[in-house]
Amino acid sequence: MNAGVTSTRTPVLAVSTVIFTLRPDAAGEMRLALPLVRRIRAPHQGKWALPGAPLKANEDLQASAASSLLSTTGLEPRYLEQLYAFGQVDRSPDRVVSIVYWALIGSDETASAIESENVQWFFADEVPELAFDHNVIIEYALWRLRSKIEYSRVALGFLGETFTLAQLREVYEVVLGKRLDPGNFRRMVESASIVEPTGEYLEGTRHRPPQLYRYNASKDLTDPDPLTLGTTSTRPNARDLGAAS
């Protein structure tokens, strides 16, 4: 235990969320971004922080994450998953343990997000010094995202119901921070069988219309665990991806 912390108050349990999306920068390049909220009370008044709130006695963890996101940012993510528990003794003047979720939303969904003096979007690589240990939390969430995209369908959380392989590849490239060979990427996606062609094509392009794809509903694309075995899922969303991995 940290000898500098003398509070004897009962620990408070809070739920916070890291929300990632893709947004264009001034040059039109897509980059990872996340919303932050400005604290309006002590401690760390005036500093930016992750959306979150104390856990209510009548709420479960995932419901708390979803409700605090909706009230502070206006967002209802399609992918919401438990990330980690942060409970260092000296992370707050009071004894606060934070259960952190991470969420993914499509670029089209950010249009409905609340933006104000106290709620703003930041690029993930330009986050200022935040309240508490929230910089560490974001770094951990980025590490989890970049690790998980290599072996799971998590990238689909950034996309709509249908998409082109080029759009899917762009998600991988932005998250991983490197260009991918289109041919090799196509073969990887097809061998994984996580998407399937819709038989339709994207209209309005200058060249040959690219084929549209969707999630492969015949496969269970979640990572089964003792709490989710026996359940099925066809796309990443806040209702069926709450279990930590």
The domains of the chain are located at: 12-148
The b/e string for 110-141 (b: 16+ C-beta within 10 A; e otherwise) is beebeeeeebeebebeebeebbbbbeebbebb
| pLDDT tens column, 46-56 | 999 999 999 99
Asked if the model's pLDDT at residue 43 lies above 50, the reply is: yes
Distances (CA, A) of 8 to 54, 98, 99, 124, 153: 18, 18, 21, 36, 44
Q: Across residues 157-183, what is the average pLDDT?
A: 95
Residue 117 backbone phi and psi in degrees, to 5: -60, -30
Domain covering 12-148: architecture: Alpha-Beta Complex (3.90)
Asked if the model's pLDDT at residue 85 lies above 50, the reply is: yes
Asked if the model's pLDDT at residue 245 lies above 80, the reply is: no
Asked if the model's pLDDT at residue 57 lies above 70, the reply is: yes
Residue 222: predicted pLDDT: 47
Which of 168-177, 196-205, 223-232 is least confident? 223-232
Residue 224: predicted pLDDT: 55
Summary mean pLDDT of the chain: 86
Q: Give residue 8's pLDDT band: very low, low, confident or very high (50, 70, 90).
A: low
Positions of E strands within 128-204: 195-201
**Comparison of pLDDT for 206 and 189, the residue scoring more:** 189
Supply the pTM of this predicted model. Answer: 0.83
Residue 111: predicted pLDDT: 80
